[in-house]
A and B are shown apart, each in its own frame.
Chain A
Amino acid sequence: MADRALSGIKVLDFTQHVAGPYCTKVMADQGADVIKVERPGVGDVARRSGPYPGDTPHAEKSGLFLHLNTSKRSVTLDLASAAGRNIALQLAADADIVVESFRPGTMESFGLDYQSLKTINPNLVMTSISNFGQTGPYREYRGADIVFYGMGGEMFGTGLADREPIKLGQNVILYQAGATASVATLGALFLAQDPADGQALGQHVDVSLMETQIGSIDRRMTALIAYQYTGETSKREHYGGSSYPNGIYPCEDGYFALAGSRVYFPRSVRMLGSPQELEDPKWHTPGAQTDPYLKEEFEELFLPWILSQSKQQAWAAAQQQRVLSGPLNTMEDLSDEPFFNQRGVFDQIDHPVAGLLKQPGRPFLMSESPWELPSPAPTLGQHNHEILADLGYSNPDIVRLRQMGVI
């Protein structure tokens, strides 16, 4: 087996849904050995979320789960039972990293909190991902991606001035939180594995989903600093503004976004084939780009052109003249995108129950520890036997544990 960036790193994963599993997925996909602990009979809540093939729910066929749990092994453990806890402790004793996403206090109720694990594994890095963090008045509060984005992120400045603020797509906020947790975790591990004498130091990392948005470069930090400097709060604005052509326009088969105004205007003129009407000096005066009548006149010429172009044609024409731009792709467009496919961005992953599926693949390329096709997401408890056997449990023990509902 080829050497991967995170080969040899052992992760014990008590997370579910999106943020935690994404944090451990990026590690697993780079070669870390991630053991995912799931509740017997039920498993990760994502198993109960769609999409499912043919909209037919099945615990082993959730698209969300299959995407977020590649390259991991699954063990089922009832953490409320003494035997389950004992197995978790043995696994934690041997782990480099523990990641969990229970409500604050839950790991403590299982006897698996950082203070307990530290005594058996002093250099452990433990990352706790929770809605609002392990401390503070909101620590018990419930959350959802819209709530985190509204409180932590730049939702107030997203949308139109005369309407309600609006969230980002799907669960992207939770993916961003998982990515942030993976950075903090690997950073902490770098110190925990410091080879210099007496330097190695484990620690507990506290990741609040809300705070991953407060610290996000997606406009929020900038808006927070702007408020510090001027007392101004952000506004909800239509993309594009007064200059032209700038924004999102309908085209023959969908929508196309471009920024071809102001300093880029000469490029836009070339993109349109340098029509004679646009040679007039009036288009190139200092006030031209803020003149609403000129904008209207320009659009009389531009809209018929863009409406006659497909997304791909518009993109080719724009890029030929270096106009900053891109199509608004659907998932079908993305899946069929020739360049991404040629670059090997997607993986064909064959799952024993869900079958062969095209899935999002590598987030980035590494020259010395290249990407390998991830193993499919595990079925519930798929690795119970091998993981327990590695801990020294005999086959009859494993049967007993199963019968008692521990695994």
Chain B
Amino acid sequence: MPKLPLQGIRVLEFGVVWAGPYCAAFLAGLGAEVIKIESIKKFISMTRGQIPRPTEEDLRNLPTSVGATPDRLPGKRPWNRIPLFNAHASNKLGMTVDLLQPKGKKALMDLIAISDVIVENNPTETMEKLEISYEEITETNPGLIMCRMPAYANEGPYQNHRSFGFHIEGVVGHTLLRGYSDMDPSGVTSVLMGDAASGTQGAFAVLSALHHRRRTGKGQLIELSQAENLIPFMGEAFMDYAMNGRNQSTLGNRHPVAIQGCYPCLGEDRWVTITIAGDDDWRSLCQAMGNPEWSQESGFRDPIVRYERHDEIDEQISQWTRSLKPQQVMRLLQEKGVAAGPVMDQQDAYADPHLNERGAFEEAYQEDTGTHLYPGAPYKMSETPSKIRRGPVRLGEDNEYVYQELLGYSAEEYAVLEEEGHIGMDYHPDVK
């Protein structure tokens, strides 16, 4: 078995919510030893749940991301059972430490001295309050790579701006580019594309720095502003403004050129998406529908006319799709080379034959949640298959390994740290 690409690289993750942890999840998937650093004295909302000790009733009322623990039950340690957290926690190790005490800070600095990468996405002032600075760290470990991922910037007027990812997407323009085209934007769903983009490109930035370090021996400080990082994803809309002074708005599900939409199918809340790119696609669609009379009108041979009469075509396509299951529409159209696919809910995804044949889901075990299927790495590698090596990490699960094996603390010293509130697998009783 060849070694994994990042085997031998140690990453310390001070991640909250999604962006930082997702970045570290990529590095862990590539084989790095990622140690997630948490405190049993501080619960950060929307990381290991919304509240530390939800009751059964709380869980029933919370949204799925923080409420859908196995069977909506809290279990002994609810914070290890949260979907929002367990989505990015596989393949990682977990330690706890109280950085507000000198001994905790000392343990951390010793750990940093033997690590390669730090990833963090806290408000800028958090690291300052903890007196953890890149300058200080590199005195002892000049090869260290530190990736900081603030919402806007670690300095300047927006340094302390408060926001969820949803707000950042508004600032960089994504919110006005999506949503129903016949409604004002006040009803759009909160999507968190920015967290995905930050985590992914954060991992790319760290990998770039690792390549650079291999060649030059130098570590470096990366600042990935989550807002700035998302701007290139809006590229063509930005370029339209730069070229034409035009402010694009949402097209809903439509395409600027093709006939495209999301159409109702047989059954409750069942949908299929279809994209008709050109004349060949149009003819294939007509054939698949059985060449109904309306579609044979000569005007429809012209793509310009088709686009003008998009509403009418949508009506007709909907009438056809309503009598079919989404998978049937997909097969009928894909057989003829037309892009179409069901809008898959979670049950559909787990049942999908293609995803199953490709092994997109992998079984993983964790003591507090049991065995479940999780999405695997979003890529396949021929020589070093990226398997889930370990289920979602529990709070403080690897304290013994980190303190005793890596840092060389004796059993006595370990016991003292446990007593002093550094080490544990349960939040301190005072934590709310």
Contact = CB atoms under 8 A, between A and B. Distances in A.
Nearest to A336: B241
B420 to A, nearest CB: 30
B346 interface: yes
Contacts, number: 508
A247 interface: yes
A89 to B, nearest CB: 20
A90 interface: no
A182 to B, nearest CB: 5
A150 B260 CA distance: 13
Given A146-B275, A175-B232, A219 B192 contact: yes
Interface in B173-227: 173-180, 184-193, 195-197, 199-205, 207-212, 214-216, 218-225, 227
Q: Which 7 A-B pairs have the closest CB atoms?
A: A63-B239, A215-B378, A169-B177, A326-B167, A227-B346, A226-B68, A331-B241
B264 A3 contact: no
7 contacts: A179-B200, A184-B377, A186-B204, A217-B22, A248-B186, A250-B186, A339-B157
Interface stretch (A77-85, A294-302, A357-365, A395-403): A357-365
A41 interface: no
A385 interface: no
Interface in A175-219: 175-176, 179-184, 186-191, 193, 195, 199, 201-208, 211-219
B353 to A, nearest CB: 6
B212 A166 contact: no
Contacts of B381: 184, 188, 203-206
A143 B345 contact: no
Interface in B154-183: 156-158, 160-164, 166-168, 170-180
Contacts of B156: 339, 342-343
Interface stretch (A104-112, A151-159, A274-282, A386-394): A151-159
Contacts of A186: 204, 207-208, 211
A146 B221 contact: no
A329 B176 contact: yes
Nearest to B260: A146
A218 B375 CA distance: 13
A369 B220 contact: yes
B18 interface: yes
A103 B431 CA distance: 54
Contacts of A64: 235-236, 239
A284 interface: no
Given A180-B200, A184-B379, A329 B172 contact: yes
Interface string B116-158: 0000000000000000000000000000000000001100111
B357 to A, nearest CB: 5
Q: How large is the interface on A (under 10, 10 to 19, 20 to 34, 35 or more residues)?
A: 35 or more
Interface stretch (B93-101, B299-307, B334-342): B334-342
Nearest to A23: B204
Contacts of A224: 346, 349-350, 374-375
A272 interface: no
Contacts of B399: none
A26 B204 contact: yes
Contacts of B173: 329-331, 333-334
B244 A136 contact: no
Nearest to A135: B358
Contact of A324 (B5, B26, B162, B232): B162
A51 B173 CA distance: 17
A237 interface: yes
Contacts of B2: 191, 201
Contacts of A175: 197, 232-233, 235
A236 interface: yes
A339 B159 CA distance: 11
Interface residues of B, number: 157
B205 A364 contact: yes
Contact of A360 (B18, B69, B218, B238): B238
Contact of B201 (A5, A26, A168): A26
Given A188-B5, A203-B383, A159 B189 contact: yes
Given A157-B189, A328-B176, A51 B354 contact: no
Contacts of B195: 217-218
Given A203-B383, A365-B223, A225 B374 contact: yes
A382 to B, nearest CB: 20
A214 B177 contact: no
B162 A364 contact: no
Nearest to B207: A186
A215 to B, nearest CB: 3
B178 A51 contact: no
A53 interface: yes
A158 B189 contact: yes
Interface in B264-312: 264, 271-273, 275, 277
A319 interface: yes
A167 B204 contact: no
B378 A212 contact: yes
Nearest to B334: A141
A82 to B, nearest CB: 28
Interface string B344-388: 111101101111011010000000010011111111111110000
Q: Which of B195, B343, B375 has the most CB of A within 10 A?
A: B343
B428 interface: no
A51 B176 contact: no
Interface stretch (B107-115, B251-259, B400-408): B251-259
